[in-house]
């Protein structure tokens, strides 16, 4: 857990214009900044950033948030990753609570490995471009394969010399710890001597989703039957093969924009496609896809297209276990590249536009593809065919999200046609698999957790004359929101000589039942805790909080500053009273309206009780209650200085 103090330190330095401006071209317009929305395609800017409120909002697609949520949405960072990114940018040292000694050590190892990897990348890139053996062997090999220098530089490729310890010497001279060097996989230790592990190989750095280098792939240049074609970084504190897809760092925005992720086998396929302008591509590195990798894809898109080169073992491996992709709700398509070609050679042959067309025309649904392949294998063998039907039914049953029901029905129809069986029969079989799984899961799960009953939020219907006003007052919990907004914005301002607005607020709000919206109650409770603990709760404290639901709610409460007020100032040449000037009045009136709303609810409830049959005693009591409530209502109305009701 990152401490609240650190979060405050970071958030106090955040300049939202600088952060968002790093990804979106922004232009100043009055008090705000505008740009083309990075989350949806548009020709004229509706993406607005307010430096004063430290929030952004797109008036086109409706996305909004603060600098942290921007990093989370745009860069697909987790909350903690976003904080770490900001901390590094603003040189804030991160303090953490409840960190075990093991975790601290692991963190230190990870940091050391990142530093070593970064050093190694620069070292190998320098060799590739500057040393004789680098240009003669490494660079000429890459150029001969058709890679241009700019793409080689973009992917930070490098070359490791054939000498036995050229890198190891450089690393030792730079005082890197021997144990960590071995851990990084860059060197191996033989008889107490450090030797380079990637001798005579092209170096492909592998980046994580914050752009740090977590490991390397090293490809042999000279053909050698004994040596493996690729060597990869061993599993360590930062490199975990099952969680990586090569190229995500360079592909992330293109995947987001095109809403499709292309998956190829090799590093060079990724780079070749990039060079031709197709950037939404990642590589599996030739292993079967893991749940972690599928989730990585799903951060960006639901559409995964696997580019399959007929005789490639790697992509066949990637196909295994793709049922998991269905469970994750991914739409998986396959494209078969013609014989003797791979994506790298094929895009070079066709050019980008034709390659794109080829993908679009030839991509085939994963399930249909499976059926076709399996049927071909089964031939006329009826028992094999029966097992194909079973297997496909199980696969289809894994599409279990409610919103994908039509998709499932579609598959049942198409597959029963392909397998020449009755649609109803396949349907029943699919349902059997679903049932079996549900039963299995239920037997594993503990009994349902207690779910607190939702507080009724419905607007009581009233026949009284002011029902329209009443429903207007109820609308969107307007009063509740206004009260909380006032607390957030003005809570730390002075109320009178020795009180702050927050103190007044909590005195007035002794009755928390006044709120229907439990989320707002939660904001108040957190505010109170922080306030009492001496942490200054401001809108920012909430905006930058880990709880994204809370942050979203608060950013929706905060008003976006409009141009209007500045225009008024110019037009009338006199200061216009802002909400900041009149905060005391605003708070009093917020409370009055909130109370008024509650009184109206009570009166309404009381009236409905009256309509039911009661003894005369009960009726009398209800009538007295009514009169009492009406009196309070009048008092509040008088205080509020408004005449809503005749
Ligand atoms: Zn937008």
* φ/ψ (deg, to 5) at 199: -55, 135
What pTM was estimated for this model as a whole? 0.61
Backbone angles phi, psi at 447, to 5 degrees: -60, 155
CA of 304 to the centre of ligand 1 (A): 24
Cα(60) to ligand 1 centroid in Å equals 5
Spatial distance between the Cα atoms of 132 and 270, rounded to a whole number of angstroms = 27
Closest by CA to 283, choosing from 308, 266, 261, is: 266
β-strand pairing of 64-65 with 158-160: unpaired
| 106 closest CA partner among 7, 212, 183, 2 | 183
- Going from the Cα of 353 to the center of ligand 1, the distance in angstroms, rounded, reads 28
Q: How far apart are CA 234 and CA 241, in angstroms?
A: 8
Mean pLDDT throughout 313-336? 76
The alpha carbon of residue 300 and the mean position of all alpha carbons in its chain are separated, in whole angstroms, by: 8
Answer with the residue of higher pLDDT: 475 or 155. Answer: 155
The predicted model gives 153-166 an average pLDDT of 95
Report yes or no: 57 and 190 within 8 Å, Cβ to Cβ: no
Which residue from 272, 314, 273, 337 is spatially nearest to 142, judged by alpha carbons?
A: 272
**pLDDT reading at 203 higher than 90:** yes
- How far is the centre of ligand 1, averaged over its atoms, from the C-alpha of 253 (Å)? 15
Phi then psi dihedrals of residue 186, to 5 deg: -75, -30
The residue count of the chain comes to: 646
DSSP strands (E only) in 338-412: 364-365
Distance (angstroms) between ligand 1 centre and the Cα of 558 equals 19
pLDDT band at 566 (very low <50, low <70, confident <90, very high): very low
Query: How many CB atoms are located within 10 Å of the residue 282 CB?
Result: 26
Burial class (CB in 10 A: 0-12, 13-18, 19+), 380: exposed
Query: H helices of 422-533, where?
Result: 423-444, 467-474, 478-490, 501-508, 518-533
Distance from C-alpha of 55 to C-alpha of 68, rounded to nearest angstrom: 10
**Measured distance CA(80)–CA(382) in Å, rounded:** 55
Residues 82, 76: contact at Cβ < 8 Å? no
- Are 315 and 308 spatial neighbours (Cβ–Cβ below 8 Å)? yes
| 556 CA from centroid of ligand 1 (Å) | 16
Single out the residue of 502, 492, 556, 536 nearest to residue 12, CA to CA. 536
**What residue spans of 132-247 are helical by DSSP H?**
132-133, 140-144, 149-154, 166-173, 178-183
DSSP 8-state symbol, 264: E
Instruction: Please check the confidence at residue 8 and state whether its pLDDT lies above 50.
Output: yes
Query: How far is 115 from 214, CA to CA, in rounded Å?
Result: 10
Q: Collapsing DSSP states into helix, strand and coil, what is residue 50?
A: strand
Output the pLDDT for position 400: 67
Nearest to 515 by CA among 599, 454, 598: 598
Distance 331 CA to ligand 1 centre (A): 24
Q: Rounded to the nearest whole angstrom, what is the distance from the C-alpha of residue 450 to the centroid of ligand 1? A: 38
Contact between residue 423 and residue 412 where contact means Cβ atoms under 8 Å apart: yes
Counting Cα atoms < 13 Å in the Cβ hemisphere of 241 gives 12
Q: What's the gap in Å between 52 CA and the centre of ligand 1?
A: 20
Distance from the alpha carbon of residue 632 to the mean position of ligand 1, in angstroms: 47
| Better-scored residue on pLDDT, 123 or 410 | 123
519/15 Cα distance (integer angstroms):
28
Contact 335/305 with Cβ under 8 angstroms?
yes
CA angle 176, 179, 181 (to 5 degrees): 55
Report the separation in Å between the CA atom of 38 and the middle of ligand 1, taken as the mean of its atom positions. Answer: 7
Q: Ligand 1 centre and the CA of 303: distance in Å? A: 21
Output the CA–CA distances (angstroms, integers) from residue 635 to 97, 437, 592, 596, in the order listed: 50, 62, 10, 10
Q: Which pLDDT does position 152 carry in this prediction?
A: 97
Measure 550 CA to ligand 1 centroid, in angstroms.
21
Please state, for a pLDDT cut of 70, what percent of the chain lies above it. Answer: 86
Alpha-carbon span 237 to 414, nearest angstrom = 46
Cα end-to-end span (Å), the chain: 56
Find out whether 414 and 339 touch, Cβ atoms under 8 Å: no
Q: How far is the CA of 61 from the centre of ligand 1 (A)?
A: 4
Distance 39 CA to ligand 1 centre (A): 5
DSSP state of 96: B
- Centre of ligand 1 to C-alpha 40, Å, is 5
Contact assessment for residue 465 and residue 646, using Cβ atoms and an 8 Å cutoff: yes
Q: Would you say residue 615 has pLDDT above 80? A: no
CA–CA separation, 277 and 179 (whole Å):
41
What confidence score (pLDDT) does residue 443 get?
Answer: 65
For 531-545, the pLDDT digits (tens) are 888 877 877 778 887
Average pLDDT over residues 360-369: 88
Q: What is the pLDDT of residues 29-63, one digit of tens each?
A: 888 899 998 888 778 888 999 988 889 988 878 78
642 vs 350, higher pLDDT: 350
Cα–ligand 1 centroid distance for 45 (angstroms): 9
Q: How far is the CA of 559 from the centre of ligand 1 (A)?
A: 18
Q: By the 8 A CB rule, do 90 and 13 touch?
A: yes
Task: Give the CA count within 13 Å in the CB-facing half-sphere of 458.
Answer: 6
- Residue 457 has a pLDDT of 30
Pairwise CA distance, residues 348 & 148, whole Å:
12
Contact (CB, 8 A) for 467 and 608? no
- Which pLDDT does position 488 carry in this prediction? 86
Residue 330 CA to ligand 1 centre (angstroms): 24
**Which comes out higher in pLDDT, residue 490 or 582?**
490
- What string of DSSP letters covers 510-559? --GGG-S-HHHHHHHHHHHHHHHHT----HHHHHTSS-HHHHHHHHHHSP
Euclidean distance between CA atoms 318 and 263, whole angstroms: 9
- The phi-psi region of residue 624 (left if phi > 0; otherwise alpha if psi is between -120 and 50; otherwise beta) is alpha
| Listed residue (42, 41, 30, 34) closest to 17, CA to CA | 34
Q: Which of 290-299, 355-364, 366-375, 459-468 has the highest mean pLDDT?
A: 355-364
Q: List, in sequence order, every beta strand (DSSP E) within 252-295.
A: 261-264, 281-283
Strand partners of residue 187: 196
Q: How confident is the model at residue 460 (pLDDT cuts 50, 70, 90)?
A: very low
Average pLDDT in the 481-485 region? Answer: 81
DSSP state letter for 24: S
What's phi and psi for 263, nearest 5 deg? -120, 125
Ligand 1 centroid distance, CA of 360 (Å): 26
Cα 16 to middle of ligand 1, angstroms: 17
Strands of 223-294, DSSP E: 230-232, 261-264, 281-283
The Å distance, Cα 551 to ligand 1 centre, comes to 19
Instruction: Compute, in angstroms, the gap from residue 26 CA to the centroid of ligand 1.
Output: 14
CA of 539 relative to ligand 1 center, distance in Å: 24
Residue 207 to residue 249: CA distance in whole angstroms: 6
Per the prediction, the chain carries an average pLDDT of 82
CA–CA gap between residue 484 and residue 90 (Å, rounded): 31
């Amino acid at each position: 857990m990152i401490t609240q103090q650190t979060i405050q330190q970071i958030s106090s330095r955040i300049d939202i214009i600088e952060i968002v401006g790093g990804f979106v071209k922004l232009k100043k317009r009055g008090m705000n900044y505008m740009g083309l929305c990075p989350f949806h395609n548009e020709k004229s800017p509706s993406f607005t950033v307010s430096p004063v409120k430290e929030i952004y909002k797109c008036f086109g697609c409706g996305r909004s948030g603060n600098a942290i949520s921007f990093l989370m949405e745009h860069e697909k960072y987790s909350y903690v990753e976003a904080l770490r990114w900001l901390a590094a940018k603003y040189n804030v040292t991160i303090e953490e609570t409840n960190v075990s000694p093991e975790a601290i050590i692991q963190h230190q190892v990870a940091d050391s490995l990142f530093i070593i990897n970064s050093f190694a990348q620069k070292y190998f890139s320098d060799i590739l471009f500057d040393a004789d053996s680098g240009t003669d062997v490494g660079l000429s090999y890459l150029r001969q394969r058709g890679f241009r220098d700019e793409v080689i530089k973009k992917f930070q490729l490098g070359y490791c010399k054939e000498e036995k310890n050229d890198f190891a010497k450089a690393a030792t001279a730079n005082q890197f710890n021997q144990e960590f060097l071995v851990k990084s996989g860059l060197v191996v230790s033989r008889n107490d001597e450090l030797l380079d592990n990637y001798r005579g190989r092209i170096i492909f750095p592998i980046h994580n989703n914050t752009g740090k280098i977590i490991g390397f792939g090293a490809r042999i240049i000279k053909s050698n039957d004994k040596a493996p074609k690729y060597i990869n970084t061993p599993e360590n504190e930062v490199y975990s093969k099952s969680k990586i897809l090569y190229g995500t760092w360079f592909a992330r925005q293109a995947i987001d924009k095109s809403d499709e992720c292309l998956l190829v086998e090799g590093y060079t396929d990724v780079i070749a496609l990039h060079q031709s302008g197709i950037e939404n591509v990642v590589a599996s590195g030739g292993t079967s896809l893991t749940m972690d990798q599928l989730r990585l894809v799903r951060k960006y898109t639901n559409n995964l297209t696997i580019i399959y080169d007929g005789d490639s073992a790697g992509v066949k491996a990637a196909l295994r276990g793709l049922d998991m992709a269905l469970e994750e709700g991914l739409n998986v398509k396959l494209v078969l590249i013609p014989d003797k070609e791979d994506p790298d050679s094929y895009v070079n042959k066709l050019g980008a536009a034709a390659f794109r067309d080829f993908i679009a025309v030839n991509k085939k649904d994963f399930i249909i593809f499976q059926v076709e392949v399996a049927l071909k294998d089964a031939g006329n063998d009826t028992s094999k065919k029966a097992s194909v039907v079973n297997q496909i039914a199980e696969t289809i049953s894994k599409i279990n999200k409610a919103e994908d029901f039509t998709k499932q029905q579609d598959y049942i129809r198409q597959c029963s046609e392909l397998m020449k069986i009755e649609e109803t029969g396949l349907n029943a079989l699919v349902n059997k698999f679903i049932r079996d799984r549900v039963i299995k899961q239920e037997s594993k799960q503990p009994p349902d957790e207690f779910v607190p009953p939702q507080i009724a939020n419905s607007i009581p219907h009233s026949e009284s004359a002011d029902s329209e006003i009443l429903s207007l007052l109820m609308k969107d919990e307007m009063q509740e929101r206004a009260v909380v907004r006032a607390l957030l914005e003005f809570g730390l301002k002075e109320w009178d000589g020795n009180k702050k607005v927050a103190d007044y607020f909590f005195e007035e709000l002794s009755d928390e039942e006044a709120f229907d919206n439990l989320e707002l109650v939660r904001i108040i409770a957190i505010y109170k805790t922080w306030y009492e603990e001496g942490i200054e709760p401001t809108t920012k404290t909430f905006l930058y909080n880990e709880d994204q639901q809370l942050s979203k709610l608060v950013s929706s409460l905060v008003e976006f500053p409009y141009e209007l007020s500045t225009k008024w100032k110019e037009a009338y040449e006199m200061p216009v009273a802002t909400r900041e000037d009149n905060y005391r009045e605003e708070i009093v009136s917020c409370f009055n309206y909130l109370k008024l709303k509650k009184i109206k609810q009570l009166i309404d409830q009381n009236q409905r009780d009256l309509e039911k049959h009661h003894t005369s005693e009960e009726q009398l009591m209800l009538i007295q209650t009514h009169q009492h409530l009406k009196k309070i209502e009048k008092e509040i109305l008088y205080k509020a200085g408004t005449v809503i009701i005749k």
